[in-house]
Amino acid sequence: MSALEAVASAPESRISQSLASENPYRSRRTFAIISHPDAGKTTLTERLLSAAGAIQKAGQVRGKASARSTRSDWMEMEQQRGISVASSVMTFDYQGLTFNLLDTPGHSDFSEDTYRVLTAVDAAIMVIDAAKGIESQTLKLFEVCRLRDIPIITFINKIDREGREPLDLFDEIADKLALDLTPALWPIGQGVDYKGYLDLVEKRVVGPTGAPGAEWDDIEDLLEHEELIADPVFVNALDTLELARSALPKFDLEDFQAGHLTPVLFGSALKGFGVAELLQALGEWAPEPRPQPAEPAPISPDEPKVSGFVFKVQANMDANHRDRIAFVRLSSGKFTRGMKLRNVRTGKDLAVTSPMFFFGHDRELAEEAVAGDIVGIPNHGTLSVGDTLTEGSAIKVTGIPNFAPEIIRRVRLTDAIKAKQLAKALNDLSEEGVAQVFRRMIGADYLVGVVGALQLDVLGARVEKEYNVPIGFESVGLEVVRWVESDEPDEMKRFIAAQKSHMAEDRNGDPVFMAQNAWWAQRAQDDYPKIRFLATKERR
């Protein structure tokens, strides 16, 4: 049986079709996939899209990206490296629901964009390689999800190959992520021994080809199936599942939606095992668009007036137009093309005449959109990451953070006459979110901070190309960056005075402490207990 046939034997839908008729936003499921490179995110994306019928043939996602011809120079640079910095959106309908899958760049050289995409989703799928368990990037992305209590469905991938023991993986996930787990699909063997899985949601056994087999009310009923218990692989699967179940909580929708409990599905993106069930789980359990944290009050998706926020700006998507697309996640109201929206930060109105929906690298005009949807708005620099758009009300969306950079470099200007141009370039590009820019308190050096080395290359290439200022980057021996604040102004003054050579200001003028390494950062924290050291800062 092919993967697609396996997908076609999905359980009957129990998703209500009537949700959407009154409040279209209630049918939206906006999510991302988080994983470490090579865990199988691309393969799973293709499978999900084909399971939903969004593409005819699995393999198109990657094919489309590489076939794209109009690319600007720095997009070419990404292409040469075989990676994509562009987080795009894939929208597909399935069983009366509209899924918006926000892509997060999968390369290890990822950027703050990757993090910020997670501020625009209501749920995430965490893909883990069954042979590798939790890897560094999964952990980082998970931590960002936790900041917002984003509910997570865990997919342990590649069970068609030899991997680690399920119980061992459960222990590791629970331990490293401090998260409650509950099994939803449990594998019967792995690799060459793979015999299918136990589907705890539908209470059925699914065979190695995806064909449904024995069903149960109580899992012990399975002991009566002689043909099953004659197989030691099956008996072992049942035993370990029982061990897991006795130690773990049952699935609870509220706990899941609050981000405390993750249902775990074992499967194979490559072979299509468990993919239909994953899609089903997402449709049934993942929350509809949630209220958006904002000042003075959270924005309910029921609010009739349109509001949304920019979570990403992508420049140079079209080489011929030098355009910038601001990706806006709608938080409320019904948006229609041509509408005027106010950028709350600048107070200026913007007629949104050519909003776009994206499908991978393709785009189409967005005539209408509701809360949960992602709309691309072309602009020439009026929209920045973190901006709130409304029909006029002075609300400010919150929860769009800057993340402490992990790489700090001094900007070296090769042509001193261009200092002014450099200042403008760095200011523009930091507003766009390409990199963070800091000014040292001693000396006038610009420091740039990024979370992935690729961001530096992009920054350098764009400053040179768009502002005609050639620059280089130099190491400054600083590795850990923390915003600092305190309720006691005198203590803050004392700290800054003592640490002046390690202090800088960010683009808002907020103080930032930079340490040589984690040990020194910890030492400063120990020495100054009244100072708070923050790894994220609300974007203003």
Q: CB nearer to ligand GDP: give 126 or 366.
A: 126
CB of 58 to ligand GDP, least distance (A): 11
Q: Does 157 bind ligand GDP (CB under 6 A)?
A: yes
Q: How far apart are CA 151 and CA 182, in angstroms?
A: 13
Residue 497 corresponds to which tokens in the numbers above?
A: 């005075």
Q: Does 430 bind ligand GDP (CB under 6 A)?
A: no
Q: CB nearer to ligand GDP: give 9 or 108.
A: 108
Q: Does 510 bind ligand GDP (CB under 6 A)?
A: no
Q: CB nearer to ligand GDP: give 39 or 448.
A: 39
Is 428 annotated to bind a ligand? Reply is: no
- In single-letter form, the type of residue at position 67 comes to A
Q: Does 27 bind ligand GDP (CB under 6 A)?
A: no
CB of 282 to ligand GDP, least distance (A): 18
Give the residue, chosen from 32, 40, 95, 457, that forms a contact with ligand GDP under the rule CB under 6 A: 40
Q: Does 43 bind ligand GDP (CB under 6 A)?
A: yes
Report 124-153 residues binding ligand GDP (CB under 6 A): none
Q: In a 10 Å sphere around its CB, with 0-12 CB exposed, 13-18 middle and 19+ buried, how is residue 354 labelled? A: middle
CB of 269 to ligand GDP, least distance (A): 4
Give the residue, chosen from 111, 119, 268, 398, that forms a contact with ligand GDP under the rule CB under 6 A: 268
Is 296 annotated to bind a ligand? Reply is: no
Is 160 annotated to bind a ligand? Reply is: no
Q: Which helix (H) or strand (E) holds 7?
A: helix 3-8
Residue 421 corresponds to which tokens in the numbers above?
A: 């141009």
Q: Spell out the SS3 assignment of 317-359.
A: CCCCCCCEEEEEEEEECEEECCCEEEECCCCEEEECCCCEEEE
Q: Does 272 bind ligand GDP (CB under 6 A)?
A: no
Is 40 annotated to bind a ligand? Reply is: yes
Give the residue, chosen from 113, 122, 160, 373, that forms a contact with ligand GDP under the rule CB under 6 A: 160
Q: Does 161 bind ligand GDP (CB under 6 A)?
A: yes
Q: CB nearer to ligand GDP: give 57 or 380.
A: 57
Q: How far apart are CA 73 and CA 237, in angstroms?
A: 52
* H-helix segments, 81-225: 112-117, 136-147, 166-177
Q: How far apart are CA 27 and CA 95, in angstroms?
A: 10
In degrees and rounded to multiples of 5, residue 408 shows phi and psi of -120, 135
Strands (DSSP E) along 188-300, which ranges?
A: 197-199, 204-206, 212-215, 261-266, 294-295
Is 166 annotated to bind a ligand? Reply is: no
Residue 537's nearest CA partner among 440, 408, 429, 436 is: 436
Q: Is the peptide bond before 291 cis (omega within 30 degrees of 0)?
A: no
Report 93-122 residues binding ligand GDP (CB under 6 A): 106
Q: How far apart are CA 150 and CA 22, in angstroms?
A: 26
Give the residue, chosen from 30, 42, 114, 436, that forms a contact with ligand GDP under the rule CB under 6 A: 42
Q: CB nearer to ligand GDP: give 38 or 318.
A: 38
Q: How far apart are CA 147 and CA 409, in angstroms?
A: 27
CB of 106 to ligand GDP, least distance (A): 4
Give the residue, chosen from 29, 158, 462, 539, that forms a contact with ligand GDP under the rule CB under 6 A: 158
CA distances from 232 to 188, 235, 236, 464, 475 (A): 10, 5, 6, 64, 58
Is 348 annotated to bind a ligand? Reply is: no
Is 133 annotated to bind a ligand? Reply is: no
Q: Does 38 bind ligand GDP (CB under 6 A)?
A: yes
**Which residues carry a binding-site annotation?**
35-42, 103-107
Q: What residue ranges bind ligand GDP (CB under 6 A)?
A: 35, 37-43, 106, 157-158, 160-161, 268-270
